[in-house]
């Protein structure tokens, strides 16, 4: 390794992480769909179906409404870019990479919120009823999920002493944090928020096009062609992002932290893949076990997440302030 | 390290009791409420047993056993039987605003932490933390008694309040066994009184919804 300057190695490691999440995201989505289909006793589409779908969509003409503005055309690329940046910042197989200083938890939450804002605007742009109802529901879920997410961020940051993701992961992976009720509660709240944000089953059904129940799909109903491809890719990336975040915050074991020789990186990559696919298998199992919720029950569901997050912060204050 | 581990496990058990109090507030099915109450009693007995290990006080083991047997097994089983006999085991209770209740509960937890924080430096960290948790559990039990309309869930609220009392008492060093026994017996007697009371309400009004009593007291008489 002495032949290659350190800067180049760092750059390659960072680029590898950015490309890894982008390349893996459709596969993980296909994996969850496959498991779900098997649980419902169907054969299901092959694992690489999301890649084929994206390829197909990229080669189709995009149909635009007559009254669609520039916002409608730009929003898909914007959403994709914001989600990709957020997903690429989360430490996956190694912490302390080149751009780790910018991987702040609050920044990631803000990036996702910006993307969601653009998509909600685009949903209302054409002026159809479905786009409007989808946008309004999406914003309702967002306004409920974001406080819970921020409380999770606070409780994790109080333990680790920073909001920077790679420092948090390093702290949790190496230092002994002890048995913490707060971390368990924060993880519980985080899983609830992740389910809501990714439009998975108790909140929203990603496979449905029934008008009364859809949230995310209603918002993007008007999109087609390459615009839809961008949105689908962003959805897959978002799921990947939340899996990575869960792995990074609550199960950072095996991650390459300080010395980056090949053995550490190998352990890092393989443990990361293992964690991601275990989670991708658990998600559809959980989804088939519960029924979809009425829209009016969302505040109670996410209120539970908020209460758990707040309780986590309170418990930290009890054990800390003395 | 052992000191640290002792604190961590005590923190975990007491914290999970507080979390179970919140789950009690959140549940709207009667059988689920009873099961969560049994879980809380088991967590209490584990917590008291752990206190007996770190305080080196074997008599606390008796307290833990009483909590496990009476409140973890006998009372939930008896309540399950009552609920079954009353035919309300499938009933879903209209909890008055789960959101506001949870927010009030969080406020109560914050209040109890703020109240216990200024306790003097002579007390160990663990005792203060246990006191804060216990006070929060007591207040949450009271909140449950206020917000529920079903007599059986109100009883569960009262019993979980008593769980908080035992948690607070076990944290204080050297609680005499006599006190513990008298508490346990008074709880049992209260339980029997409650049981008879519930059946009387049911006989008289054909329901265990306590709002039926308001009319009997004449509180809503003018409007009807």
The pLDDT value recorded for residue B108 is 92
Q: What is the mean pLDDT of chain A?
A: 87
pLDDT category of residue A4 using cuts at 50, 70 and 90: low
The pLDDT value recorded for residue B58 is 80
Minimal Cα distance from B125: which residue of A?
A322
Rg (Cα) of chain A, in Å, rounded? 20
Are the C-beta atoms of A194 and A242 separated by less than 8 Å?
Answer: yes
Residue of A226 and B131 predicted with greater confidence: A226
The pLDDT value recorded for residue B178 is 65
Query: Is the model's pLDDT at A237 over the cut of 60?
Result: yes
- Residues on chain B touching A182 (C-beta within 8 angstroms): 15
Pairwise CB contact (< 8 Å): A318 & B113: yes
Instruction: Give the SS3 label for residue B209.
Output: strand
Pick among A297, A304, A305, A315 to test the B interface (most B CBs inside 10 A): A315
Range name among A217-221, A256-260, B78-82 with the lowest pLDDT average:
A256-260
The pLDDT value recorded for residue B102 is 84
- Return d(Cα B129, Cα A92) in angstroms, integer: 36
Flag whether residue B189 sits within 8 Å of chain A, measured between CB atoms: no
pLDDT in tens, B124-154: 777 778 888 888 998 998 888 888 877 788 8
Are the C-beta atoms of B203 and B185 separated by less than 8 Å?
Answer: no
| Residue A101 per-residue DSSP state | G
Flag whether residue A303 sits within 8 Å of chain B, measured between CB atoms: yes
Bin A208: left if φ > 0, else alpha if -120 < ψ < 50, else beta: beta
Distances (CA, A) of A16 to A262, B2, B23, B195: 14, 43, 43, 67
The pLDDT value recorded for residue B223 is 47
Are the C-beta atoms of A213 and A125 separated by less than 8 Å?
Answer: no
Environment class of residue B115 by beta-carbon count within 10 Å: exposed (0-12), middle (13-18) or buried (19+)? Answer: middle
Query: Is the model's pLDDT at B63 over the cut of 50?
Result: yes
Environment class of residue A209 by beta-carbon count within 10 Å: exposed (0-12), middle (13-18) or buried (19+)? Answer: exposed
Query: Of A154, A182, A179, which is closest to residue A168 (Cα–Cα)?
Result: A154
Minimal Cα distance from B5: which residue of A?
A178
In angstroms, the separation between the Cα of residue A138 and the nearest Cα of chain B is 20
Torsion of CA B189, B192, B197, B199, to 10 degrees: 180
pLDDT in tens, A19-56: 999 999 999 999 999 999 999 999 989 999 999 999 99
Question: What mean pLDDT do residues A135-153 have?
Answer: 91
> Above pLDDT 90, what percent of chain A?
41
- Return d(Cα B64, Cα A32) in angstroms, integer: 45
Instruction: Give the SS3 label for residue B104.
Output: helix
Query: Is the model's pLDDT at A224 over the cut of 60?
Result: yes
Pick among A185, A307, A317, A321 to test the B interface (most B CBs inside 10 A): A307
The pLDDT value recorded for residue A115 is 93
Residue of B224 and A298 predicted with greater confidence: A298
Distances (CA, A) of B66 to B48, B73, B161, B174, B181: 10, 10, 16, 17, 9
| Beta-carbon count within 10 A of B98 CB | 19
| Beta-carbon count within 10 A of B38 CB | 20
Distances (CA, A) of A209 to A215, A216, A220, A233: 9, 10, 11, 19
The pLDDT value recorded for residue A39 is 93
- Residues on chain A touching B26 (C-beta within 8 angstroms): 304, 307
In angstroms, the separation between the Cα of residue B88 and the nearest Cα of chain A is 24
Query: Is the model's pLDDT at B3 over the cut of 60?
Result: no
- Residues on chain A touching B117 (C-beta within 8 angstroms): 321-322
Strongest mean pLDDT among A109-118, A210-219, A256-265? A109-118
Environment class of residue A42 by beta-carbon count within 10 Å: exposed (0-12), middle (13-18) or buried (19+)? Answer: exposed
Q: Which of residues 174-203 of A touch B (CB under 8 A)?
A: 178-182, 185
Question: What mean pLDDT do residues A114-124 have?
Answer: 92
pLDDT category of residue A162 using cuts at 50, 70 and 90: confident
Instruction: Give the SS3 label for residue B92.
Output: strand
pLDDT category of residue A1 using cuts at 50, 70 and 90: very low
Pairwise CB contact (< 8 Å): B132 & A318: yes
> Above pLDDT 70, what percent of chain A?
95
Question: What mean pLDDT do residues A195-220 have?
Answer: 81
Query: Is the model's pLDDT at A266 over the cut of 90?
Result: no
Give the long-range contacts of residues A48-52, CB within 8 A, separation 24 or more.
Answer: A50/A26, A50/A232, A50/A236, A51/A26, A51/A27
Question: What mean pLDDT do residues A287-296 have?
Answer: 85
- Choose the closest CB to A315 out of B8, B9, B15: B15
- Residues on chain B touching A304 (C-beta within 8 angstroms): 26, 102
Query: Is the ipTM above a cut-off of 0.85?
Result: no
Question: What mean pLDDT do residues B207-219 have?
Answer: 69
The two three-digit tokens of residue B44, written as one number: 């209490």
- Choose the closest CB to A310 out of B8, B106, B125: B106
Query: Is the model's pLDDT at A249 over the cut of 80?
Result: yes
Query: Of A234, A205, A230, which is closest to residue A218 (Cα–Cα)?
Result: A205
In angstroms, the separation between the Cα of residue B183 and the nearest Cα of chain A is 28
The pLDDT value recorded for residue B224 is 43
Instruction: Give the SS3 label for residue B207.
Output: coil
pLDDT in tens, A48-90: 999 999 999 999 998 888 888 999 999 999 999 999 999 988 8
Helix axes B151-171, B75-86, angle to 10 degrees: 170
**DSSP secondary structure string for all residues of A246-294:** HHHHH--TT-B-S---HHHHHHHHHHHHHHHHHHHHHHHHHHHHSPPPP
The pLDDT value recorded for residue B120 is 62
Domain ranges of chain A: 6-321
Query: Is the model's pLDDT at A155 over the cut of 80?
Result: yes
Torsion of CA A142, A145, A146, A150, to 10 degrees: -170
In angstroms, the separation between the Cα of residue A114 and the nearest Cα of chain B is 27
Q: What are residue B209's DSSP bridge partners?
A: B150
The pLDDT value recorded for residue A285 is 93
Instruction: Give the SS3 label for residue A163.
Output: coil
Query: Of A286, A26, A317, which is closest to residue A155 (Cα–Cα)?
Result: A317
Flag whether residue B126 sits within 8 Å of chain A, measured between CB atoms: no
The pLDDT value recorded for residue A48 is 92
- Residues on chain B touching A308 (C-beta within 8 angstroms): 19, 22
Range name among A156-160, A282-286, B5-9, B158-162 with the lowest pLDDT average:
B5-9
pLDDT in tens, B147-177: 887 778 888 888 888 888 888 887 766 666 6
Pairwise CB contact (< 8 Å): B16 & A314: no
- Return d(Cα A29, Cα A284) in angstroms, integer: 11
């Amino acid at each position: 390794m002495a032949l290659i300057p350190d800067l180049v190695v760092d750059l390659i490691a960072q680029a590898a992480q950015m490309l890894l999440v982008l390349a893996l995201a459709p596969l993980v989505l296909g994996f969850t769909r496959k498991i779900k289909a098997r649980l419902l006793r169907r054969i299901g589409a092959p694992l690489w179906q999301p890649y084929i779908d994206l390829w197909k969509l990229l080669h189709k003409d995009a149909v635009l409404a007559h009254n669609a503005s520039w916002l409608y055309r730009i929003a898909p690329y914007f959403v994709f870019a914001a989600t990709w940046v957020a997903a690429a910042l989360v430490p996956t197989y190694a912490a302390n990479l080149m751009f780790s200083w910018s991987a702040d938890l609050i920044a990631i939450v803000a990036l996702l919120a910006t993307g969601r804002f653009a998509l909600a605007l685009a949903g209302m742009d054409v002026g159809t009823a479905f786009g409007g109802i989808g946008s309004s529901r999406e914003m309702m879920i967002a306004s409920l999920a974001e406080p819970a997410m921020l409380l999770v961020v606070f409780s994790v940051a109080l333990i680790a002493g920073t909001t920077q993701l790679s420092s948090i992961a390093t702290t949790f992976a190496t230092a002994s944090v002890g048995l913490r009720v707060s971390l368990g509660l924060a993880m519980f709240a985080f899983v609830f928020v992740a389910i809501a944000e990714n439009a998975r089953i108790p909140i929203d059904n990603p496979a449905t096009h029934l008008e009364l129940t859809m949230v995310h799909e209603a918002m993007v109903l008007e999109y087609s062609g390459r615009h839809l491809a961008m949105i689908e890719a962003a959805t897959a990336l978002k799921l990947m992002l939340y899996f990575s975040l869960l792995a990074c915050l609550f199960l950072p074991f095996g991650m390459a932290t300080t010395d980056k020789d090949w053995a550490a990186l190998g352990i890092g990559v393989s443990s990361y893949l293992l964690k991601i696919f275990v989670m991708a298998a658990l998600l559809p199992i959980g989804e088939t076990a519960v029924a979809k919720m009425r829209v009016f029950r969302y505040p109670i569901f996410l209120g539970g997440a908020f209460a758990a997050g707040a309780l986590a912060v309170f418990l930290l204050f009890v054990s800390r302030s003395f | 390290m052992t000191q640290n581990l002792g604190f961590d496990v005590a923190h975990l058990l007491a914290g999970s009791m507080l979390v179970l109090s919140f789950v009690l507030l959140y549940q709207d099915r009667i059988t689920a409420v009873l099961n969560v109450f049994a879980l809380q009693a088991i967590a209490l007995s584990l917590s008291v047993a752990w206190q007996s290990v770190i305080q080196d006080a074997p008599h606390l083991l008796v307290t833990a056993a009483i909590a496990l047997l009476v409140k973890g097994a006998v009372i939930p089983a008896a309540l399950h039987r009552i609920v079954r006999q009353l035919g309300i085991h499938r009933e879903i209770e209209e909890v008055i605003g789960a959101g506001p209740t949870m927010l009030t509960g969080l406020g109560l937890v914050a209040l109890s932490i703020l109240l216990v924080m200024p306790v003097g430096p002579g007390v160990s960290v663990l005792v203060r933390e246990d006191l804060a948790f216990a006070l929060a559990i007591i207040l949450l039990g009271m909140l449950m008694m206020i917000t529920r309309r079903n007599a059986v869930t109100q009883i569960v609220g009262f019993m979980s309040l008593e769980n908080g009392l035992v948690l607070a008492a076990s944290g204080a060093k050297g609680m005499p066994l006599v006190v513990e026994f008298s508490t346990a017996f008074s709880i049992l007697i209260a339980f029997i009184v409650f049981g008879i009371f519930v059946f009387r309400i049911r006989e008289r009004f054909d329901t265990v919804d306590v709002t039926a009593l308001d009319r009997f007291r004449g509180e809503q008489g003018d409007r009807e």
